[in-house]
Amino acid sequence: MAFAVASQLDGTRLADGELAGLSAAAQYITDSCLCDGPLGRVGLELEAHCYDPVAPHRRPGWGEIIEVIESLPAMPGGSVVTVEPGGAVELSGPPADGVAAAIAAMTRDQDVLRAAFAAAGLGLVLLGADPLRPAKRINPGPRYRAMEQFFAATDTAVAGAAMMTSTASVQVNVDAGPQAGWAARVRLAHALGPVMIAMAANSPMLRGEFSGWVSTRQRVWSQLDAARCGPILTASGDDPGTDWARYALKAPVMLVHMPPEGAAEPVRHYVPFADWADGRVVLGGRRPTTADLEYHLTTLFPPVRPRRWLEIRYLDSVPDAIWPALVYTLVALLDDPQLTSIAAEAVEPVATAWDTAARVGLADRRLHAAATRCVTAAAERVPPAMTGAMGRLVQAVEQGRCPADDFCDRVIKHGIAPTVSQLARGQS
């Protein structure tokens, strides 16, 4: 089994077998949510906002971005290049054997991608939220058009548009590991969230204004329906499969694919998937299939998402100087048996402090204490090639600073547009 990037549903799969009912849907989710096996593989996905350095208020168009992407050679690290709804460019790397190999491969691909965009007069900026431009969708894909309509119909148009077109992240994909350890592993992946958000916070602005949050990206996601974007973990967290099934079946259906073309149609009223599966509501003139259920799962955005592996989705996009150290820290705390118990104990007091982490970051003393303990432990086991990046992260945490603080300092000194232009030109 390999990590994969969530993609649009293949229209041919609409003929998949109809689900027998709610119990069948729950069983399907429980049986397929995680894959039993060893730990070790790591896949990374990095998103960067695309800017015109000369005119940073301008959002480069779809044609401009696609022209650059079509000119790219094969990525040396094997990444796939895609474009997010607002024009952010994403590198999605294949699974690598270990975090160091994943970081090295992604760094090589970044260099190729950045050079190609620079040659076209464009720049890629690693920030958790677009600090300058209003939300605007440029990707014409039917999935994103339908999502836009869904958010408008459910009174979350502003937050939905910001989420789709103004946010960017570093996503870390890790193996689920041996089945006997799933519950503890999923609990730890969630419990690490607030501390990692505080360390990685890099989105203090949105639409040209300071938001009052160090991670406005996390704030935007929290303004969406908690049934779709909140943590999946229940109070006990003893059975990740059951937790995920319960979450997914209660979550409202966002999109339905309609034959024969398989175009995405938004669901404009609140319909939990459970109601569709049990026949209480009919969508698209039919009962759901397993393909519909699989697609529904791709429209759910919890901070930790089971996809046979674990997708960890709570990190802001952060600068090159620090993202490798953040990724290494997160994976080491999850995968290194000598660190997992240290991490679990360190983050237990702040395991649910999601909003506090996004609002004030390491200025919260409990988050600062937990982060200090976590990075100190991870730094003791860092490979030699990463000592520089890890040293910068340790120093920042000791000082109670996150990337958002550095960005704010630059904006205050130079202004928003000049700062974005500098970053788009690669001036760190």
Query: What does the pLDDT look like over 173-221, one tens digit per residue?
Result: 999 999 999 999 999 999 999 999 999 999 999 999 999 999 999 999 9
**The pLDDT value given to residue 237:** 64
**What is the C-alpha separation between 70 and 166, in angstroms, rounded?**
23
Angle ∠(71,72,75) on CA atoms, nearest 5: 170
Provide the pLDDT for residue 2.
44
Q: Which domain holds residue 334?
A: 34-138+164-239+302-425
* 101, 25 contact by CB (below 8 A): no
* Helical axes 193-200 vs 365-379, angle rounded to 10°: 90
Instruction: Find out whether 174 and 333 touch, Cβ atoms under 8 Å.
Output: no
Does residue 123 sit within a domain?
Answer: yes
Q: H or E stretch including 311?
A: strand 310-316
Global pTM value = 0.94
At 114 the pLDDT is: 98
3-state secondary structure of 391: helix
CB 227 within 8 A of CB 251: yes
DSSP-assigned states of every residue in 56-94: TTS---HHHHHHHHHT----TT--EEEE-TTS-EEEEPP
Strand pairing partners for 304? Answer: 312
Does the residue 235 lie in any domain? yes
Helix or strand holding residue 346 (H, E): helix 337-347
**Nearest residue to 9 via CA among 293, 422, 278:** 293
C-alpha–C-alpha distance, residues 105 and 102, integer Å:
5
Query: Is the CA virtual torsion 117, 119, 121, 123 positive or negative?
Result: positive
> What CA–CA distance (Å, rounded) separates 329 from 332?
5
pLDDT at 7: 34
In a domain, 101, yes or no: yes
Q: Does residue 53 surpass a pLDDT of 80?
A: yes
Instruction: Give me 7's structure tokens.
Output: 């993609």
Query: How far is the C-alpha of 19 from the C-alpha of 278, rounded, in Å?
Result: 9
* Residue 366 resides in a domain: yes
Dist CA 349 CA 363 (whole Å) = 15
| Calpha distance 241→224 (Å, rounded) | 24
Where does the pLDDT of residue 340 fall: very low under 50, low under 70, confident under 90, or very high at 90 and above?
very high
82 falls within a domain: yes
Position 264 scores a pLDDT of 86
What's the CA gap between 275 and 281, in Å, rounded?
A: 6
Whether the predicted pLDDT of 262 surpasses 70: no
Q: Give CA angle at 247 (143, 22), nearest 5°.
A: 90
The residues, ordered by sequence, that sit 6+ positions from 55 with a Cβ below 8 Å of its Cβ are none
Q: Can you tell me whether residue 251 is helix, strand or coil? A: coil
Q: Does 10 score more than 80 pLDDT?
A: no
Instruction: Kindly report, residue by residue over 271-305, the tens digit of the pLDDT.
Output: 999 999 999 999 999 999 999 999 999 999 999 99
Domain assignment of residue 297, yes or no:
no
Higher pLDDT, 2 or 156: 156
Distance, first Cα to last Cα, the chain: 38
pLDDT band (50, 70, 90) for residue 87: very high
Average of per-residue pLDDT across 315-328:
97
Confidence of residue 261 (pLDDT cuts 50, 70, 90): low
Distance CA 256, CA 263 (A): 8
**SS3 of 286, please?**
strand
Instruction: Please report, for the domain that includes residue 312, its CATH number.
Output: 3.30.590.20
- Residue 81 CB neighbour total at 10 angstroms: 18
3-state SS class at 35:
coil
CB-CB neighbours of 61 under 10 Å: 12
Reading phi first (left if > 0) and then psi (alpha if -120 to 50, else beta), residue 279 is in: left
Q: Tell me the backbone φ, ψ of residue 169, rounded to 5 degrees.
A: -145, 170
Tens-place pLDDT, residues 20-41: 999 999 999 999 999 999 999 9
Q: What is the pLDDT of residue 227?
A: 92
If you ran DSSP here, which 8-state letter would residue 98 be given?
S
The answer to whether position 11 is within a domain reads no
pLDDT attached to residue 21: 93
Residues contacting 419, CB < 8 A, separation 6+ = 407, 410, 411
Angle between helices 365-379 and 323-335 (to 10 degrees): 80
Q: Are 122 and 83 in contact, with CB atoms under 8 Å apart?
A: no
| The Cα angle at residue 318 between residues 314 and 323, in degrees rounded to 5 | 90
Domain count along the chain: 1
Q: What pLDDT is stored for residue 257 in this prediction?
A: 84
pLDDT of residue 17: 84
Mean pLDDT value of segment 245-249: 95
On whether residue 77 sits in a domain, the answer given is yes
Stretch 92-107: mean pLDDT, rounded? Answer: 98
